[in-house]
């Protein structure tokens, strides 16, 4: 439920300006997700959402710049995502692994112990196989939206 709620939050703020938690709670309820202000506040913190002024001057929730950079790099650099036990392996275009790895390190992903990059491969050590599965799924959805 938490993952679905957080994914829906990201979807909502990417599609329309949202400036208050109350507004976000209402938009979640329209999508069939009931939540409390305290839970939403924790979600906002865990997703590292920030409030910024958009081009019209309105204040709205958005993903931090580092998360946007990570997603953009993923779409440009990463060719495949796989995991074995508690290690995720990202295959990248030649020469792009180090920059992509730095972007991953700049975002606080749950369960990540550490990363290491070569020329075209990134290894991400996570605490458990469950963490590996969850983060791999997130990376795949960034790579292949809508699948």
- Enumerate domains of the chain plus CATH numbers: 2-62 (1.10.10.10), 65-143 (3.30.1360.40)
**Model pTM?**
0.55
Give 54-84 pLDDT, tens digit per residue. Answer: 777 778 888 765 555 556 667 888 999 999 9
Q: Of the given ranges (22-26, 46-50, 125-129, 139-143), which has the lowest mean pLDDT?
A: 46-50
Give 28-38 pLDDT, tens digit per residue. Answer: 999 999 999 99
State the Cα–Cα distance between residues 105 and 43, nearest whole angstrom: 20
- How many CB atoms are closer than 10 A to CB 20? 12
CB 134 within 8 A of CB 90: no
Q: Of the given ranges (61-70, 97-106, 111-120, 136-145), which has the lowest mean pLDDT?
A: 61-70
């Amino acid at each position: 439920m938490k993952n679905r709620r957080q994914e829906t939050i990201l979807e909502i703020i990417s599609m329309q300006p949202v400036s208050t938690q109350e507004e976000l709670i209402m938009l979640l309820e329209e999508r069939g997700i009931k939540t409390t202000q305290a839970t939403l506040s924790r979600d906002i913190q865990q997703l590292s959402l920030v409030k910024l002024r958009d081009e019209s001057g309105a204040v709205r929730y958005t993903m931090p710049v580092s998360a946007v950079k990570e997603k953009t790099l993923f779409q440009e650099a990463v060719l495949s995502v796989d995991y074995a036990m508690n290690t995720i392996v990202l295959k990248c275009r030649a020469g792009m692994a180090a920059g992509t790895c730095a972007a991953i390190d700049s975002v606080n992903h749950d369960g990540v112990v550490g990363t290491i990059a070569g020329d075209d491969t990134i290894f991400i050590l996570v605490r458990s196989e469950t963490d590996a599965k969850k983060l791999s799924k997130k990376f795949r959805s960034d790579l292949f939206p809508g699948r």
